[in-house]
Amino acid sequence: MAFYSNMLLFEIMLVSLLAGVTLCGGNIPDSCGILTPPSNGVILHCSRGSRSNSRCIVKCKNGISTAQSIRICKCSERICLWEGFNPNCEVGQCELPIHKEGSIVLLEEWFGGFTALINLGFLPALDDGWSAVVIFEQPLGSNARITSLTSDVTSISPSKNSFTLSSKEGSPARNISTSNSLHSVFSVTEVETRTPSLGYVGIYNHRVTDVVCLNPPGPMKPIVKFSFSQTLCSNSNMSATSSPFTTSSRVVSPLVNESTGISSNQGLHVETTSATSLVDNNTSSMTTSHLSVATTISPRTFLMEIDGMQCKRQNDESYRTQPGWVDGGFSYFSGNALVEVTQSATKWLVVVVFQLPITSIQVWNTIIKGNQSNGLLWKFGPIGYNSQLSPGKLDVRFIAKMQTQSDNMAAGEVYFCSSYFGTGDPIWLPFEERTNASNAPINKQHEENSRVPVSLSTTTSSLGLTTTTHSDVRRLTPVPRLTNQRRCASSAPYGIRPRRSSQTVPRWKRSRDGSKYDFNELLHKSILFYEAQRSGSLPNNYNRITWRGNSMLKDGCSIAVDLSGGWFDAGDFVKFTFPMAAAVTNLAWGGIVYRKAYVHAGLLPRFLGSLKWPVTYLINAHTAQNELVGLVGDVRADHDNWSRPEDWNQDRPVFKITKDAPGTELAAETAAALASSSLVLKRTHPSVASQALRHAKQLFNFAVQYRGHYHEAIPQVNEFYHSYSGFNDELMWAAAWLFKATTQQRYLSYAERLFDSLGGTHITGSEFSWDNKMIGAQVLLANITGHDKYRNGVIRFMNKMLTEAPKTPSGMLWVREKGPCRYAANAALIGLLAGELEPPLPERRKYLKWAEKQIHLLVGDDGRSYVVGFGKDYPKRPHHRSSSCPRPPATCDWTTYHSNRPNHFILYGALVGGPSKMGQYDDDRENFHQSEVAIDFNAGFQSAVAGLKMLARRNRNK
């Protein structure tokens, strides 16, 4: 009997263990133990953990099922168990679509997102509504957001690679054209990967809630980019004559309004009747009738109203354009018309007045209400869902086709017209003499300097703009010889103060890495510092530094190049290309190796946007194949002034290196910056990355072919950024980066031969800085090749840093008086990158620990923080003009400089110069050796912080 009793007890214990039951001896039990969710399920919430009476919600993962259940921990005198059952989260057989020949057309692509159209041909009746499943070949990232203004997004897969669109409730036939074709637009934002290139679309003849478990039952199709010469046919096998989108004399383009076409079905099906844009049904190719360009336009006139409505002119920032392209002998460009809606409007128009005649326009979120004055004035109206505008911003994105090929994109002005305006502004139709581009004289010098050696055939237009030819389509290669005439006009402003100056409020995702300091906060604020350093026309839609406005808008006008962008070097307004390029390279290096740190911090889009800003400037600064701008601004005049950059009102000189006055260090470092940045940006900004790499190759050739010290070519930099280390370190550094970016062996061979010729096996550097790249090149070559001669150089450098290198009493590396913090941060970055080498270096752990110590000393372990706006006792008076200035219209001058009060605005994230060798820091903006900030200070620091974040995550997951 005892045997059977023991067996019964054993069975009870076994069953209880398997069921999540807790058995207790003499004590009253109060815990049910760990509740295990089902496969493909999660525990959403537990009211009391695993304790008695805890209620837990268990649900299936998104994309699997919507099922969920409640589990309750119940305890008796001797036993606790989870009551209830887990939901069934097994992946079942997904319902198959009735039609799977759909396609995806990419309408627009931007930083971190895109808009696309799903397109399906002839369908059966869909009176009960419809759903479409969209599947991409890759995940879009955990933070990706999918929206649609014309459909409901009813489910999204966990990896964000598939989702379901459904007809809107109560509108089953919406999106269905008269030819029973289905078209629906969706947008994806916060994409963490490249824009997908393959996709699948399947359609259901009723609304379904969740079919993202579906695997594509057939091959995925390429996602096609929309162009003017493209008809959106739903079936690639459908003949042109049977296409529901074409007739013998017109193009029918879903969701695209072209010329003066008026939409039907809430603007989702548009008939185009432009006489200049016809489709030949036999060939499905675009044919274009010849248009002559009027040599003059009638004298300047104005309109006081449009369609019975008064109109308000929007500010100059409301009209924006992107680089254009040439196709079929005509020029195209894309742009935005941004409108500020101040109160609800039911009857409204957006009017754009162009300075050059426009033949046709495509838009997506409005419909075209007509044009006049030979294509100078275009009107856009509501499309159904936005027929009633709420206060906020309206962004009308468009693609414009010009009447002829031109190297200039048409400037423009934006007006918002509404029935609620009692008075308005006159709408001016500008008078400007027109010249046919084909009759313009050829600029021989420009043609010679701007020719680009690429594998595809290249030609130079009559205005000297290089084009790359592939088949019959030519895309403009940006050689920024031409400048915006309005920007450089004598009446145009040099700068524009911000409308409302207010303190930036940082908002970041709190770190859960278990680190001593919040590395997410440090990364977030360092990026804010770089945003505060921006020169040029700042974007209204993401300018988080509201006390900064547009500045130095006329930089480069003297040489007909737009050099208004880029970063100010430090607390002044000068733009030195050499340290800017060095900062870009170090930031890009961190972005390559520690990209996931930015992803985990939720900062990848901000980081990429921050990096793209100076990259665009460096591309523009490369004004010809063997020319590069090295300095913008008169350093003396700048340093004699203490004011806001927006208040600067003088022309600024531009200094270049050329083949007659070469600057090898400058050309090579800029090549390294652009090559490394191309690796960071190629997933999200392939066009910018491609341009950057092309310019990097040209600049490296320039640096190799024409040797000379850049400070001799531009003596104005001598006092500030004299190249003491020579140019061989930059040449080796640039060659290594070009190998990383291209995998072409010739670059690696060049770097290795140069290393050997310099006796590199015996070189031990003492710093890593904007000037000296030797140790950076050694780490990079060690990573590429794994050769001991480079690895040993890294070991020697790190051993020197840990032992004999000078330090403050607290142990912070101290290389020299001016800006010691940057050298400590840069060396910490080298230590972290040394820790990434494989196989691991013998003292890897020691290097990582030392690097961590250096960064911790900079942010708080030294008894104070050297990062503005972070930690305890951070610097309040950095040597920085714009942040020290009070809100306009208050005066900012040398009285402000000498004042003992803290800077009026917190310069979040800026790393100051740092303490004396004895560890003393003077928080005084007049002590610029210690209190000045600079773009190269933060570069190595930010990348090192990203490295420490990744290190903390690895340690946490061990």
Rounded alpha-carbon distances, angstroms, from residue 553 to 540, 613, 648 = 15, 15, 10
What does 266-327 look like in DSSP terms, one character per residue? TTTEEEE--TT-EEETTTTEEE----PPPS--PPPEEES-BTTBEEEEPPGGGEEE---EEE
What is d(CA 525, CA 467) in angstroms, rounded to the nearest whole number? Answer: 41
Radius of gyration of the chain, Cα coordinates, nearest whole angstrom: 31
Task: Tell me if residue 128 is catalytic.
Answer: no
CB 602 within 8 A of CB 143: yes
Greatest distance between any 2 Cα atoms in the chain: 115
Helix/strand/coil (H, E, C) string of 84-143?
A: CCCCCCCCCCCCCCCECCCEEEEEEEECCEEEEEEEECCCCCCCCCCEEEEEECCCCCCC
Q: Which residue is it, tokens 């005439």? A: 485
CB 191 within 8 A of CB 93: no
CB 377 within 8 A of CB 400: no
What is d(CA 430, CA 376) in angstroms, rounded to the nearest whole number? Answer: 9
> Over the range 291-306, which residues count as b (16 or more CB within 10 Å of their CB) and which as e?
bebeeebeeeeebeeb
SS3 503: coil
What is d(CA 875, CA 906) in angstroms, rounded to the nearest whole number? Answer: 9
CB 577 within 8 A of CB 624: no
What is d(CA 944, CA 438) in angstroms, rounded to the nearest whole number? Answer: 53
Task: Tell me if residue 932 is catalytic.
Answer: yes
Nearest to 232 by CA among 364, 135, 396: 364
CA pseudo-torsion sign 748, 750, 756, 761 = negative
What is d(CA 330, CA 313) in angstroms, rounded to the nearest whole number? Answer: 30
Nearest to 617 by CA among 573, 571, 577, 572: 577
H/E segment holding residue 55: strand 55-60
Q: How many residues does the chain have?
A: 958
SS3 70: strand
CA pseudo-torsion sign 403, 404, 405, 408 = negative
Q: Which residue is it, tokens 């206060």? A: 391
What tokens were used for 299? 């004298």
CA pseudo-torsion sign 955, 956, 957, 958 = positive
Packed helices 604-621 and 686-705: angle between N→C axes, nearest 10 degrees? 40
Of the candidates 271, 922, 923, 924, the residue annotated as catalytic is: 923
What is d(CA 413, CA 427) in angstroms, rounded to the nearest whole number? Answer: 9
What is d(CA 417, CA 428) in angstroms, rounded to the nearest whole number? Answer: 14
Angle at alpha carbon of residue 594, lines to 593 and 600, rounded to 5°: 155
CB 53 within 8 A of CB 73: yes
What tokens were used for 494? 């040099």
SS3 337: strand
Rounded alpha-carbon distances, angstroms, from residue 109 to 115, 191, 194, 563, 912 = 6, 11, 10, 25, 38
CB 527 within 8 A of CB 606: yes
Catalytic residues: 923, 932
